[in-house]
Each structure stands twice: as C-alpha cells, then as structure tokens.
Structure 1
Amino acid sequence: MCEYAEITSIAMFTSFSNTTEPNRPTNVMSYLSKVAVAGASGNLGLSIVNQLIKNGFEVTILTRDSSQKFPPGIRVCMVDYNSNESLVSALSGQSAIVSALPRNALDIQALLIDAAVIAGVQRFIPSEFGPDTSNFNCALLPPFQGKILAQEKLKEKARSGELSYTIICTGPFLDWGLQHGFMNIKEKRTRLYNNGEQLFSTTTLQSVGRAVCGVLMNPAPTKNRLIRVHDVTTTQRKLLSIAREVTGPYGWTVNTHSIEEMLQNSFSAHWQGMQDSESNAGFIAAAYWGKEYGGVFEQTENEMLGIPTMNDDVLRGLIHQVWNQ
C-alpha cells in the first residue's frame, strides 16, 4: 500500500551544510529521476532522502513500519520485505533504488535485487557507504560479507543486462563520528587507534546524500562500478587537535587502542558466534584505520559528483558546529 506523507517537516532532515551542488548532466532526460529508498528512517537514509528532495527527485520510501513519519508529499509504500509481490509492486515505475539498510538487515538486499529486476528498475545502489570493500583485506572481514554477497549478485545481474549498479564507498561518517563514533566532542572523549596517526577518508552524511544524487544525475559514467568519495583525508590526531582548539585543551579523555589486539579479540568473538557491535569493533577499526585495509582513498569521484573537499577552516567549522549543538 502506497500513500503520500502528510506529517512532519523536511527540517528534520537538515545536517551540516556545504555549498557545492552535484554536477548536473546537460541532458536532463538522462537523470534516473524516480528513486525508491529502503531504510530511510535511519541517519543515513534521512540524509539521502533530504538530498534527493533538495535536488528535485521523485522519491518513494519503502517501509514496513506504519508509525514512521516522513516529509509531506513523499510517496510512502508499506512493504513486506519477505514478499516478492509486495516489493515488485512498490518498485514498479521506479528508475532506481537506493538501499540504506543497516548491516543486520542486509539479507533483505537479495530480495530487493530480484524484485528490482522484475519491476524493471534500471539502477541499484546497495547499502555500502562505508569502507572500501574492493580492498582485499577489508573484503575478508566478517561484518562486510553481506555487502560482498550483494555485490556479487549485482555483478551477475549486470553481466546479464538485467540491472545496473553503483557501489559508493565513503569511509566513516564524519559528522556522526564526531558526536557518537570515534569521538564525542560534547563530552570531550575520543578513541585513538594505533596512536591516531593513520590517514583515513571520511565523509559527512550530507555529502553521502549528495554523492547518491550525483550518481543518479550521471548514470552513464557511474554504471556498474565502485566509486569513492570523501569530504576530507585526515587523522584522528588532527581531529583531536582541532577539537581542542575549539573546545579548550583541558578536560579531554583520550583512550588509545591497538587495532591488532582489537582484531584478535573480534576474531575470537566471531569464532564463538558473537556478532554484536562490541564484538565487531576490531573489524570496524581495521577497515577504517588499519594500514592495509584501504581506509584512505587515493582516487575519488568528488569532482564528477560535485563534492568539494574540506580545508582546515571548513573542518574547524564543522567541529565548532557539533560542539555548539
């Protein structure tokens, strides 16, 4: 069942602002303009929906929770993710689908891919938006096996001409990470992995949404490939240094962690069948901050997708914004 949302304001989707818009193709007809989003209620999904709306896409949200509230005018489809008929009905007429499903729900993606093929969807953007899973070491880590399986299925469909795909790698979410992840600016707490000197690529949630828009606005050059985007390449030490400038140097709690030890603990937990976030912490840390896991993107598609890189002043402004929230 599909209907148009009438409750809440689009203001709930706002986030850190950076000004450049995605590059628009000269041929407007090349847009993949009708977009379904699965997993739109989380932080990632909300940011993607916000940018799609801002850039004039016709958005359909797939949800199985009737209590979720979305901006007015958006088409919302109640779906049964275990029903091919339900998914095909919701995806009919869509030119693309974006999956923002959490890692513990990635088994649904296989069903979405099959339904997208039947419904005639042209482009599938899977729930990646994280580490570079094309890196050999990263691809072997247990938490990302669901992503790898989805990639293999999409490549199979692409080879047969049934569906095209784009995989978007972003590194960790910078704005979210400054509040809830590798740092908590409000509480002046941070973790440093291997002393915090490892360069890594990181992207704000807003820029992740803009990358999705850029892909859909440029379907030909982004077809059937993995692309990388980031707002900045930095280190945890540098982020801590800027944060101390913004918040004052005193009162910070800094905990250092060995990625090698964390990996050993995570593998031990994995072999015992544990898959919670604490058990996976070593895998996640290695994927983003390990030396040979592809955490720093040497080449990106920022220019094509209209995503400028941050200089220190912009980065300081983001940290200041988080501190003052």
Structure 2
Amino acid sequence: MPTTKVAVAGPNGTLGPTVINHLVKQGFEVTLLSRNTEKAAQQYPPPIKVAQADYTSMENLTETLREVGGFDSLVILINRRDLEPQIKLIDAAIAAGVPHIVPSSFGISTESPEVRALPQIKEKIEMEKYLVKKADEGKVSYTAINTGLFFDWGLEGPGIPVNLKGGPTWRADGGDVALSVSTLDLIGQAVAQAVRKREEARNSFLYVHSAAVTQNQLLQYARETAPERDFPVEEVDTEKAVADAEEKMRQGATGPRVAAPAMMRVSFGLGLGLFKKVDNAFLGLEVMTEEEVKAVVAKYVRKQW
C-alpha cells in the first residue's frame, strides 16, 4: 500500500508540534507548507519535508502542492480568524487535485445558532460554509474536528477555564456547568486518525474531547494540589455580563474583553460548550479519567511562571 502523503499548512502554530508528531507516528509522509522554511526545517528535521508557501497567493500555493505532488490530505492549522489564507488553501488544494482537507475547525462547535451569532466565530463559519459548498460540488472532501477548549493551552496561557497563575478565575454562573476540553496531544491524535479514516469520515463534522469538566471541579483539584495557595474567584452572571458588554459596544467599545462575555454566556450559561456526543471511539481516542484530569491541573499548578 502506498504511503499517505499529507501537507500541513500553519505548522508553527499552537497545534503544529502535536499534529505533526502524530502524523509521523502514523507513518504518513509529511510536508510542511511554511512561510519561514528555515525555521520550520530547524524545528522539524527529516524525514519531514518543508516547502515554501505564500498564503497570500492561491497560484503559489497551487504550484507548491503540484510540485511536491500526490498529496492525499491537506491539514490546515492556520488561526481560524485568518479567513483569506484558508480560502486560498482550499482553492489551491482543489486546483492541485488534493482530495481531502482537515480544516481549521478546532474549538467550539458551530452547530447552534447561538454560537453562530458570536463575532469571534464569524470567519470560522465563513470558511466552513465555503468548504462544505465545494464538497457538495464534488470538488473535494473534508473531515472537520470540533475539540472544545484547548485544555492544557488554556491552563497555561489565558487561564481558562480556571486561572492557576494567581489571578482570579471568572467563575461563570456558579461554576458547575460542564465544558468539553481537549489536550493538544489528543487533538494531534484526532487529526492523524481523521486522515487515516478519511474515507469513513468523508464530509463529516466530528466531535472529540479529553474530558467534560466544570470550573468548580478544576478549582477543587488546584486547591488539593496546593492548599497553601489562594485561587481567587470573581463571580460572573453571564446574562448580566452580556447585557453590560452590549451596552459598552453601543457606546463604541471594542476588543476581546468586550467580546468575551458572549463566549462565556454561550459556553457556560447556555451549556453549549459541552458536546452531548463525541466521536472518540470512532477515532480510537481515550477519554481521560478523573485522576488524569487532576494530573493535568497539578502540572500547571506546580509550574513556575
């Protein structure tokens, strides 16, 4: 059986290392499409290949994909807010004859109208609509993966769903609303399995998570790990927070802090951050035990920032 050839766009982002690692583990031949080939080649030595890519040019991307040739899948890891390069990559893949795409659909599901109304999701919605249209026309196939919140990234970076760095956790609506979260490693596994099962998962939106957790659960684990530390909490009524944010926007305010309450309301207040059904079993992915979730929290509680 010939080796599956996979192109990866956006290898230097958050998901790059884990996705590339699991694609290689699956025995796929991986070529990275990178604006900075020197940086990519240093980070990812052979047998991984690196090709120059200009995400502003559909013609350049098409030529690159054709020159290397024979790709079975294109995995797009570009930030979901960058709509134009994603559209160019989709068009280039079609022009170059790449039959399958794993798009940058990671994160919250766009299934519900409440999520689809979020301004933070606008570009993701437009990309998905465009890709589905092209698939409906028979020009390409896709497997989109919804992952919920990036778990370890959230604990280490922005401090969501709980803040382990010393600042307050914004506890939404009492803190007992469950949320789907995925570790970066699980997302890498999911992508590799989606490529391997691309015919079985043809033109589908899959849902995976490492665990369903609540803010109070994670705060409890943090306090058990470090009882001498304070993990302060600021209570947030998400319905009121959204109303306050909308008033600020009417007055001209913009920015992530103004937009954040709407995402909190959808994820926690309306409970739409939790996947009711997941496709872990189909992709051969494990759900974390309680002890494994505790271990992830403990790792970041003990980390010195």
Same fold (TM over 0.5): yes
Q: Answer whether contact 1:228 1:297 (CA < 8 A) is retained.
A: yes
Range with bigger deviation, 139-148 or 269-278: 269-278
2:264 to 285, 295, 302: 285
Q: SS of 2:258's equivalent?
A: coil
Q: Answer whether contact 2:80 2:105 (CA < 8 A) is retained.
A: no
Q: Answer whether contact 1:158 1:165 (CA < 8 A) is retained.
A: yes
Say yes or no: does 1:129 pair with 2:82. Answer: no
Q: SS of 2:139's equivalent?
A: coil
Say yes or no: does 1:253 pair with 2:232. Answer: yes
Say yes or no: does 1:227 pair with 2:206. Answer: yes
Q: SS of 2:169's equivalent?
A: strand
1:159-174 matches, within 5 Å, as 159-174=136-151
Count matched residues: 295
Q: SS of 2:56's equivalent?
A: coil
- Unaligned 5+ segments in structure 2 are none
Query: 2:274 maps to what in 1?
Result: 296
1:72 to 31, 45, 53: 45
Q: SS of 1:37's equivalent?
A: strand
Query: 1-side partners of 2:265 and 2:123: how far apart?
Result: 18
Query: 2-side partners of 1:203 and 1:150: how far apart?
Result: 22
Query: 1:14 maps to what in 2?
Result: none
Range with bigger deviation, 244-253 or 202-211: 244-253
Query: 2:61 maps to what in 1?
Result: 87
1:16-165 matches, within 5 Å, as 33-66=4-37, 68-69=39-40, 70-73=43-46, 74-92=48-66, 93=69, 94-165=71-142
The 3 A distance-change label for structure 1 pair 186 and 305 is same
Deviation at 1:267, TM superposition (A): 4.2
Range with bigger deviation, 308-317 or 74-83: 74-83
- Unaligned 5+ segments in structure 1 are 1-27
Q: Answer whether contact 2:219 2:231 (CA < 8 A) is retained.
A: no
Runs of 4+ off more than 4 Å: 265-275
Q: Deviations over 1:261-287 (max 9, x none)?
A: 333355456667766332321233234
Deviation at 1:167, TM superposition (A): 1.4
| Aligned Cα root-mean-square deviation (Å) | 2.2
Say yes or no: does 1:317 pair with 2:288. Answer: no
Query: 1-side partners of 2:19 and 2:262: how far apart?
Result: 26
Query: 1-side partners of 2:265 and 2:230: how far apart?
Result: 28
1:183-262 matches, within 5 Å, as 183-187=162-166, 189-248=168-227, 250-262=229-241
- TM-score, normalised to structure 1, is 0.83
The 3 A distance-change label for structure 1 pair 204 and 101 is same
Q: Deviations over 1:14-65 (max 9, x none)?
A: xxxxxxxxxxxxxx66x8x211122211212222122212222221212223
The 3 A distance-change label for structure 1 pair 89 and 169 is same
Q: SS of 2:277's equivalent?
A: coil
Q: Answer whether contact 2:221 2:298 (CA < 8 A) is retained.
A: no
